[in-house]
Structure 1
Amino acid sequence: MFHPLRVSEVDRLTDDAVAVTFDVPPELRETFRHTPGQHIAVRRAAPPGEPGTRGEIRRTYSICAPAGPEPALRVGIRLVEGGEFSTYALKELAVGHTVEVMEPAGRFVLEPRPGHFAAVVGGSGITPVLSIAATLLAREPAARFCLVRSDRTVASTMFLEEVADLKDRFPDRFQLVTAVSREERQAGLGSGRLDRERLTRLLPALLPVTDIDGWFLCGPLGLVAGAERALRGLGVRRDRIHQEIFHVDEALTDAPTTETRAAPAPVGTALSATLSATLDGRSGSWPVREGESLLETVLRARADAPYACKGGVCGTCRAFLVSGEVRMDRNFALEPDETEAGYVLACQSHPATEEVELDFDR
């Protein structure tokens, strides 16, 4: 559910990024209390004639503020080429404006607990990890955190001051390693991308890799995929690796396809299917039109169906597959244990049987 929230601050972080803070009224404090690492969805009316938007634009942005008893709702927004909302945020959004905001969601999270944790992030992938690290170090004296971050240049690096503050406040428990890909630096790692080969050499020199209690990977697909392969190659258990993808290339041709409980219908076969779905305690059934996703089927009857990116990245449309079989075009949001348990992304799912049932409430 969306709530209108007033913008209280718009802080310029870099030439192409801002941090936006929203006022949360007392009656919504519980609604917007977040777990470190979660994100929010925002929406605004689409420009007239914008195709495929259903009259609105939705985007998800990670919360960068630490979690606490008084929810501070602050997100980082980086300009994306052609991005409707990011362009609006950087060029027009101002203090006093009102934005419709959905309550926090997402499972790329870490509840503070003792242990040694680490993250590999690229670009705006620092946003949720900043909340995770700041909350963990402030609340749990027996916790340590290592942040390995990659950016194009120093000038393009988001949240420089906030990360430096963590280093000053927790010098014995916060380890920071920085790399830039497009300029030479006098200190830190040499220039160049943090790819699989480089991380395979670097990480064991920094940390006892297999003893880390949780790895958090966030950023562009290439960085996250390379970091995951490096960690798996170094012997890290799958259940200790958590990832969130930003900036998936829409032209990607090798995006992963996940089949859930069945193979898809043969190519060229028109499958007449019916979808039953439960959302906010109400159920309904509708025919699935040829070529549409299960989310699009639900949206024809239920405008309140949860979604944001429609690209298989944010996980807002996550639903439990009660019965039937589906094919997901791609999945960058669900962890392996979630797909194994029967969860799917409605925006990427198509029916592979004549009847499919989803539950958005589980």
Structure 2
Amino acid sequence: MARFHPLRVAAVDRLTDDSVAITFDVPPQLREEYRHAPGQHLALRRIVDGEEIRRTYSICSPAPHSAGPDRLRVGVRFIEGGNFSTYALKELAPGDDVEVMTPAGRFILEPAPGLYAAVVGGSGITPVLSIAATLLAQEPTARFCLLRTDRTAASTMFLDEVADLKDRYPDRFQLATALSREEQQAGLPSGRLDQERLGTLLPALLPVQEVEGWFLCGPYGLVQSAENALRELGVERTRVHQEIFHVDPAPPRPADTVGPEHSTVTAQLDGRSGSWSVQDGETVLETVLRNRSDAPYACKGGVCGTCRAFLVSGDVRMDRNFALEPEETEAGYILACQSHPATEKVEVDFDR
């Protein structure tokens, strides 16, 4: 089960005008709990005016080969009106303590031989930086191709870290950068990476069919365009992995999707089970949280996947899903934060 622990901030490094990298010290007794796979994320928690706020940020540091990490680093980009990102950029300082959840997420790549590729936009570079750095360091025969896009060079996160990968692995790391609002002296022409452009660009960069795994991360529009382009190029769905960092709030649920008048949720969580009545309009997660404050969640927007649970019995309606792979939903997994009971009894298991 994911758990929160207070971690000391070791550094807050300015990356761009609107982003920082936060480094946490991990004490020896917690290093095993914070062992992570490349591509996973951390949920950070703080209390503001009595309200608990959680935000999820991907780990950008390489995954440790064996022992747990002594430090963890995440990237944070400012979002207009964002409570935690404003705090991170304007107030957070070395020496502060932050409540940090143990690593979670399935947007991962365990190092293995072969050719891998990523299409990222903006802060989508964060988990892919960990994936690429870990792969190249731990698997000497692996290769990685990174296609990244941002508005301008000045707004591009982790420029130095990506350049360092290029310097260390010149024969195994390929980098292509497209800027949407700025011309480059060398490299790709400026402009947005839409589906049509990606469909032409990707085969020109690398042998598409030889790529073992594709990792798409960034704004929803970019990820969707890249996924559609790869589908048209004949790439198998199982080789494409995606993670979306931010989506607009979901619209209100239509009246014809309202569930039964009375329903009960039974949940298995950390080895204990309980059953509770669902209040009007509640999701499965909201029902469980009223009775078990340790229920896992981070974004509540269907993006991070922290609240994934196995649907044991009954039926639910998921408002949206940007976190689970099709294979996971077909196997019976749901996002508790997006799932409303569609039957009078619903049973879920957070421990599977």
Is the TM value for this pair above 0.5?
Answer: yes
Change (3 A) 1:275 1:105: same
Residue 174 of structure 1 is matched in structure 2 by 173
| Matching of residues 167-206 of structure 1 within 5 Å | 167-206=166-205
Aligned partners of 1:265 and 1:271 also within 8 Å: no
Aligned partners of 1:232 and 1:238 also within 8 Å: yes
Between the aligned partners of 2:230 and 2:251, the Cα distance in structure 1 is: 23
Aligned partners of 1:196 and 1:230 also within 8 Å: yes
Residue 37 of structure 2 is matched in structure 1 by 35
Residue 323 of structure 2 is matched in structure 1 by 333
| Matching of residues 268-287 of structure 1 within 5 Å | 270-287=260-277
- SS of 2:351's partner is coil
Change (3 A) 1:246 1:19: same
Between the aligned partners of 2:183 and 2:251, the Cα distance in structure 1 is: 30
Kindly state the Cα deviation for residue 207 of structure 1 after the two structures are TM-superposed: 1.0
Equivalenced residue count is 347
Aligned partners of 1:37 and 1:132 also within 8 Å: yes
Residue 260 of structure 1 is matched in structure 2 by none
Residue 15 of structure 2 is matched in structure 1 by 13
Kindly state the Cα deviation for residue 249 of structure 1 after the two structures are TM-superposed: 1.9
Q: Aligned partner of 2:347: which letter? A: E
Between the aligned partners of 2:96 and 2:193, the Cα distance in structure 1 is: 39
Between the aligned partners of 1:265 and 1:81, the Cα distance in structure 2 is: 32
**Are residues 1:351 and 2:322 paired?**
no
Between the aligned partners of 2:83 and 2:256, the Cα distance in structure 1 is: 37
Q: Taking structure 1 as the reference length, what is the TM-score of the superposition?
A: 0.94
**Are residues 1:67 and 2:57 paired?**
no
Deviations 1:259-297 (A, max 9, x none): xxxxx9944564311100010001000011121111000
Residue 111 of structure 2 is matched in structure 1 by 112
**Are residues 1:321 and 2:311 paired?**
yes
Deviations 1:305-324 (A, max 9, x none): 01111000000100000001
Between the aligned partners of 2:259 and 2:73, the Cα distance in structure 1 is: 47
CA RMSD of aligned residues (A): 1.5
| Matching of residues 121-140 of structure 1 within 5 Å | 121-140=120-139
Deviations 1:103-133 (A, max 9, x none): 0000000000101000000000000000000
Q: Aligned partner of 1:27: which letter? A: Q
- SS of 1:213's partner is strand
Q: Aligned partner of 1:102: which letter? A: M
Change (3 A) 1:57 1:211: same
Q: Aligned partner of 1:207: which letter? A: L
Q: Aligned partner of 1:61: which letter? A: Y
Aligned partners of 1:6 and 1:97 also within 8 Å: yes
Kindly state the Cα deviation for residue 343 of structure 1 after the two structures are TM-superposed: 0.4
Change (3 A) 1:223 1:86: same
- SS of 1:222's partner is helix
Aligned partners of 2:259 and 2:341 also within 8 Å: no
Residue 54 of structure 2 is matched in structure 1 by 58
Q: Aligned partner of 2:160: which letter? A: E
